[in-house]
A = this chain, B = another copy of it.
Amino acid sequence: MHSHHLFILSCALLLVASVQAQSADQTIHFHATMDNVKPTFGPADPVAHLKPGNFLEANSLDCFGNALQKPGDPFSSVKIDNPLTGPFFLDGAQPSDTLVVHILDLEVDGKQGVGTFGPGFGAANSTHYTPMLEKEPLPERAWYYPIDAEKKLITFEALDSNFKTQFPLKPFLGCIGAAPANGEVRSSLVPAEFGGNMDAPEVSPGNTLYLPVNVPGALFYFGDGHAAMGDGEVAGSAVEVPMKAKFRFDLIKGKSTAWPRLENDRELMAAGIYRPVDDAVRIAVTELIRWVHRDYGLSELDAYELFSKVGHLHLTELVDPNYVVIASIEKKYLPLPLSASQ
């Protein structure tokens, strides 16, 4: 174990200090419309350039491109799934760097959300990737959710019986990512190493997301705003909403991350993204243990044991082409970061 190596890493992941200092405190504004959104994570002409330290204020359309507005609106009016705002080119970002995205603010851009069930998509029905012989598929359905921004409450109204209930507004972004590695371009329905459609409530204000930079400029995208979501997004949708977002960007030079990571004052969070869930868990847990080992100095077995006593596993979604698990541990249970003790 080389403490110099560890120092650089922890310093980078925690402070990103030197880079920020050199960056202007500028805010870039961008307005997404159906004319400039993208259907994929991958190379595309940037809609704007950013510098490390910059702020970005931009909106996203909902996962249906805002096509479903009231009961009866046909699913066929949806032209693109998960239309993405972007890409944004981060000046100076090169492959093997880490893109740092501070999620500063998210605000639902409207007064209602929508949830849908469509046959072939869901965690507990016959789907494209887990097809079942059946007499007849379940029917297509849409639920519309009034959102009270002031009271931070969302209203569910049953379609098949006379029942309403309210639950809290907890906005986050379902899609957030940078261009994939190996020259790949992936649909905005896909979560993977590059982030993407992770549907992780952890992508919310106060958290910082680390993503691998795979192409010059990183090419950052976001979209698929959610006003609230249950674990697993099991019926195939959250409370789908247009969103107004505010981010700040940084760059960690010369260090990459194999999978998306998140962090805040209280927690380290590592994403594992694949199928079956068993493998998503293995990815998330090994990534978190390596993180704790590398930056906090516990041996891998000590970190494994400690996670087995106080760690958290969050099954964020089981409906996209890959499944997502977030493994997290509270920093209060960890040693000081190695960098801090230098």
- Which residues from chain A sit less than 8 Å from chain B, CB to CB? 39-40, 42, 115, 117, 122-126, 129-139, 141, 143, 145, 154, 156, 158-161, 163, 165, 167, 182-187, 189, 228-239, 274-279, 281-283, 285-286, 289, 297-302, 304-313, 315, 318, 323, 325, 332-335
Contact = CB atoms under 8 A, between A and B. Distances in A.
Contacts of A306: 156, 158, 165
Given A232-B311, A239-B309, 14 more contacts: A39-B182, A40-B182, A42-B183, A129-B283, A133-B138, A135-B136, A156-B309, A163-B297, A163-B298, A183-B187, A232-B281, A232-B308, A234-B308, A235-B308
Instruction: Work out how many copies of this chain go into the complex.
Output: 4
Contacts of A315: 277, 281, 313, 315, 325
B122 A304 contact: yes
A138 to B, nearest CB: 6
Contacts of A136: 135-136
A240 to B, nearest CB: 10
A271 to B, nearest CB: 13
Contacts of A139: 301
B234 A304 contact: yes
Contacts of A231: 311-313
Contacts of A137: 135
A184 B185 contact: yes
Given A161-B297, A187-B184, A233-B308, A278 B323 contact: yes
A285 B232 contact: yes
A333 B163 CA distance: 10
A335 to B, nearest CB: 5
A311 to B, nearest CB: 4
